[in-house]
Amino acid sequence: MQGIAMNPAAPHALPPAAAVVELRRVSKHYQLGDSRIDALRQVSLAIRPGEFVAVWGPSGSGKSTLCNLVGLLDAPSSGQVLFDGTDVATLSDNQRSIARNRSIGFVFQNFNLVPVLSALENVMLPLQIGRAGTRQARAAALRRLDEVGLSTHLAHRPARLSGGQQQRVAIARALIGAPALVVADEPTANLDSSNALRVIALMRRIGHAEGTAFVFSTHDERLLDRVDRRLRMHDGVLVEEGAAAVPPVPAVSAPATQVTS
């Protein structure tokens, strides 16, 4: 098995109910000297294609830990994480990296753009690291920057962009490889409320249009009526799972992932 690969040629390969990522009774502990911190306790959930999901709760409740596990950035202390139906624990480090690079995009609180690169170059970067040709990477990046409303800012370096614009570049970058899932840890924490709402609306629109699942963490309860599903965390426990007021828009086409062998 070489890992989990996107399969854009077969957009309907996943049945509608199949989970992109699933956690089964997942716990995560940290040992700090003599004391054990239970960052996540027995969390079970499934994220489906095109779902727009907020993880919320107070500081220290386990939101980032949950995002790291959903994004295959970290491994659980116990329980199972399944990505596209494959138990991630059965993958080698290399296979897990391949799955992550091909199928998951990330958006960060601090945008994490490369300061010396233009907006266009930042968005092209993941494809170029993945050895795509420059022409292909440029065409995909132009399309993504158009999608996030930044076609007029292609040559701008991050320092010449507002926070909201930088986060939209970061969203374009996260989407460049057509991932099945985007994980965003506090994507609006450094934005004012109008930019926060704009970024959330943008992610939701793209996720629903392309069947990309989004999981983002937030402290901001004002964003919670903009999501399909809310996961409320408290002391490492998933205490409430609720549908939001806005009904989910069905995905037009769900990008498929498959395990290649």
Ligand X SMILES: Nc1ncnc2c1ncn2[C@@H]1O[C@H](COP(=O)(O)OP(=O)(O)OP(=O)(O)O)[C@@H](O)[C@H]1O
Binding site for ligand X (CB under 6 A): 30, 32, 37, 39, 57, 59-65
CA distance 252 to 261: 28
Residue among 32 and 159 whose Cβ is closer to ligand X? 32
Contact by Cβ (8 Å): 84, 180: yes
CA distance 255 to 240: 28
Cβ at position 196, least distance to ligand X in Å: 16
Residue reference for tokens 């399909």 = 228
User: Token digits for 198?
Assistant: 């704009």
Cβ at position 141, least distance to ligand X in Å: 30
Cβ at position 75, least distance to ligand X in Å: 13
Task: Please give the DSSP secondary-structure letter assigned to residue 247.
Answer: P
User: Token digits for 191?
Assistant: 């934005």
Residue reference for tokens 């994507």 = 187
Cβ at position 235, least distance to ligand X in Å: 9
Residue among 64 and 166 whose Cβ is closer to ligand X? 64
- How many CB atoms are closer than 10 A to CB 48? 21
